[in-house]
Structure 1
Amino acid sequence: MRILILGGTAFLSAATARQALERGHQVTCLARGTTARPPEGAMWVRGDRDGGPEAYEPISDQDWDAVIDVAMQPGQVRHALEALSGRTAHWTFVSTISVYADDSVPAQDESARLHEPLAGDRFTEMTDYGPAKVACENAVRAAVGERAHVCRAGLIAGPGDRSDRVGYWPARFARGIGTDDRVLVPAVDDDTQLVDVDDLASWLLDAAERGVAGTFNATGEPTPLPQVLGLAVRVAGHRGRTIAVDPQFLADHGVGYWAGPDSLPLWVPGGEPGFGSRSIASAREHGLRLRPLEETLARVLDYERSLGLDRDRWAGLGPATEQQVLAAWREASDLSS
């Protein structure tokens, strides 16, 4: 197949390009390449999608068996469709489960209510991320109709992930494997969902090869957070204790959730049990295959070790902050006993 990947230099798009080459496909990547190059063997077309329709001129006269797009900005998606959709047999757009407007009900499928689409071509605030992806989805369906595969991905984990949302936990447990180490964790048992980057890339290519069309949630099986953390403990060989702290106490002491500095990743406050329990039954029926979560976490830890366990992070607690909160929790527990 002749596959065009709009991207191909980072994380999911890079993993997809590598796997496509391994399968023997002809792969072209349209990307700026400011931080990384496409995998060896792919044809690289330099292009800045923020520059408008002109970015696609070098390839707009070619026919494609499949296009795979991971963009977030509606304007970029619309310009790509205008330039390429008429000469493309199958179009994959990687969306997100953040398109859903209601996270209060667990196990909802792809028919659940969505955010209103973003009206403009570009978003700047993360609160508009979901609405922007809805606008992208709508543009894809309007342009390619039954040739569209809309893949609503969940939280992606594995080599190449620099968000620290998953990597924080195995790295933290590996950083202190002694029996005296105490690791602060949130006292929550809500589900979370992780999908291995290579499993997701494989699904994107399988769907393109078979012409699978439609809209699918593509993430991992819902798994209670304590179970996920237990697997992270196992792969790290941690022998210390985990100290589960009340979420309100964490918030009162400046600890965030999900992502960002001074946060504990992978959980959100109560009232959103659907956030980590989207139904993936349809994707499973159409061929999505998932490796064991423990294997993914082991891969994550290997990648974290290659980066350095003690590096500064985009998400997670620094050692000093963690110790301060643990000390405050011990003091509060002693006073209440």
Structure 2
Amino acid sequence: MTNVLILGGTGWLSGRVARAWADAGARVTCLARGARPATDGAEFVTADRAAPGAYDTVSEREWDEVVEISSTPEHVASAVAALAPVARHLTYVSSLSVYSANDVIGADEGAEVSAPLQPGEEYDYSRAKAAAEASVRDAFGDRAAIVRPGLIVGPDDPTDRFGYWVARLALAGREPVLTPTLEGRVSQVIDVDDLAAFLVACGAEQLPIVANAIGDPMPFRMLIDAAREVAGHSGDVVEADDEWLLSHDVQYWMGPRSLPLWLPSDMPGFATRSNAAYRAASGPLRDLGDTLRRTLADEAARGLDRERRSGLTRAEESELITARRRAD
């Protein structure tokens, strides 16, 4: 039986990876603080990764695969040092944010990454992931897969970004919905279950790979149109340009009073990364409609009009639409 250690294993992505490995017949162990339960059938090891000896128990056993997802460089460095002697392979979940710039369309894994974060420096996510990648390479060499996901989407997404659109369109029904200007904008996503399946495959096949785990770039208008179809939206789509939105305190990308996935126009490479390596390694990419349907079912179960971590409230949106129409 395959022995798999997941550092974490109780969050959104890592929990799905744990379940996918368990479904594949592996013996799964999750190491985490214990704030959330592990997937059914998994062994749970409680440990504070910031404490000395956090890996003492698991470093006494042999592992066919280790999955690491942390963006805390110190945690990753201590974990790989402790586990490299007893693990055959490690899959590290990095991020497309590890790259130092987003100005080149179609950039692949050879693009420059950020300078690794050094101890004592102010935290920076991109540099933290770069430091973690460096620790993984130093400890595991060609026994490691480094997977760089882009925007992860699908059911149970705790960020509320991608799901905002299909939920808002379903809630609006025949009424208008506000979007940024759609022409020329691009989006690029990866379904959480496709990513989980790929992470399992990396371990099962002991792949020595660096891969951008992301879907094909698509016009943002295509995403909105597909979401409208799934949601059954028949109202108007009211577009507003960047200057107008910013002047009305609407935020980019995520968070309260934002239009999720909307980005400044000076980041042309952000949602256009090459996924050729991922495809060459048989990384799965499901139909966008399937992801949207599963996401809408989850959003409906949680409440289309619930308080969200990202997006406009319906009241905020309606006020902005009125203001936009008056301006026209």
Deviations 1:153-174 (A, max 9, x none): 1111112211011111111011
Distance in 2 between residues matched to 1:13 and 1:157, nearest whole Å? 14
1:308 is displaced (CA, Å) by 1.2
Q: Structure 1 residues 256, 300: closer, same or farther in 2, change over 3 A? A: same
Question: Could you list the per-position Cα deviations for residues 274-309 of structure 1 after superposition, in whole angstroms to 9, with x for gaps in the alignment?
Answer: 100100001110110110011111111111112111
Structure 1 residue 141: Cα displacement: 0.3
Unaligned residue ranges in structure 1 (runs of 5+): none
Q: Which residue of 2 aligns with 1:186?
A: 180
| In structure 1, distance between residues paired with 2:288 and 2:138 | 36
- Counterpart of 1:46 in structure 2 is 46
For residues 100 and 210 of structure 1, the distance between their equivalents in structure 2, rounded to whole angstroms, comes to: 26
The letter for the 2-side match of 1:245 is A
SS in 2 for 1:92: strand
Contact 1:74 1:121 in 2 (8 A): no
Name the residue aligned to 1:252.
247
C-alpha distance in structure 1 between counterparts of 2:137 and 2:120, whole Å: 17
Equivalent-residue separation in structure 2 for 1:296 and 1:146 (angstroms): 33
1:134 match: 130
Shift of 1:232: 0.9
Q: For residues 22 and 88 of structure 1, what CA distance do their matches in structure 2 show?
A: 21
Deviation, structure 1 residue 320:
1.9
Q: Out of 247, 257, 261, which is 2:256 matched to?
A: 261
Distance 1:309 1:192, change over 3 A: same
* Structure 1 position 120, deviation (Å): 2.1
Match of 1:103 in 2: 102
1:82 corresponds in structure 2 to: 81
From 137, 143, 167, the equivalent of 2:139 is 143
SS at match of 2:94: strand
Tell whether the 8 Å contact from 1:190 to 1:276 is kept in structure 2 after alignment.
no
Check if 1:60 corresponds to 2:59. yes
- Counterpart AA for 1:39: T
Task: Give yes or no for contact 1:74–1:122 (8 Å, CA) kept in 2.
Answer: no
Distance 2:314 2:289 in 1: 25
Measured in 2, the distance between the counterparts of 1:242 and 1:121 equals 48
Aligned counterparts of 1:121 and 1:39: Cα–Cα separation in 2: 35
Q: How many residues align?
A: 326
Q: Which residue in the other structure is 1:318 paired with?
A: 313
1:267 deviates by: 2.2
Structure 1 position 50, deviation (Å): 2.6
Task: Tell me if the contact between 1:12 and 1:197 (Cα under 8 Å) persists in the aligned partners.
Answer: yes
Matched residue SS, 1:19: helix
Contact 1:107 1:279 in 2 (8 A): yes
Superposed displacement of residue 29, structure 1 = 0.4
Alignment TM-score, normalising by the size of structure 2: 0.97
Asked if structure 2 preserves the Cα contact closer than 8 Å seen for 1:10 and 1:160, the reply is no
Distance in 2 of aligned mates of 1:23 and 1:29 = 16
Match of 2:289 among 284, 291, 294: 294
**Which residue number in structure 2 is paired with residue 16 of structure 1?**
17
The residue number in structure 1 matching 2:214 is 219
Are the equivalent residues in 2 in contact too, given 1:123–1:132 (CA < 8 A)?
A: no
Cα distance in 1 for residues equivalent to 2:125 and 2:65: 25
Tell me the distance in 2 between the aligned counterparts of 1:122 and 1:174: 44
Amino acid at match of 1:12: L
Runs of 4+ residues deviating >4 angstroms: 121-124
Partner of residue 7, structure 1: 8
Separation (CA, whole Å) in 1 of partners of 2:92 and 2:162? 24
User: 1:199-218 maps to which residues of 2 (within 5 A)?
Assistant: 199-218=194-213
Offset from partner CA, 1:109-146 (integer Å, 9 cap, x none):
0001111111127865xxx1111100100110011101
Which residue identity is paired with 1:4?
Answer: L
- The percent of aligned pairs where both chains have the same amino acid is 42
Tell me the SS of whatever aligns to 1:299.
helix
Distance 1:277 1:267 in 2: 14
* Counterparts in 2 of 1:297 and 1:167: CA distance versus 1, 3 Å: same
The Cα offsets for residues 3-34 of structure 1, whole Å up to 9 and x where unpaired, read as 10011111110001111111101100001231
Structure 2 runs not aligned, ≥5 long: none
Partners of 1:77 and 1:308 in 2: how far apart?
37
Q: What is the SS of the residue equivalent to 2:285?
A: coil
TM-score by length of 1: 0.94
Query: Residues of 2 paired with 1:190 and 1:63: CA distance?
Result: 48
SS of alignment partner, residue 86 of structure 1 = coil
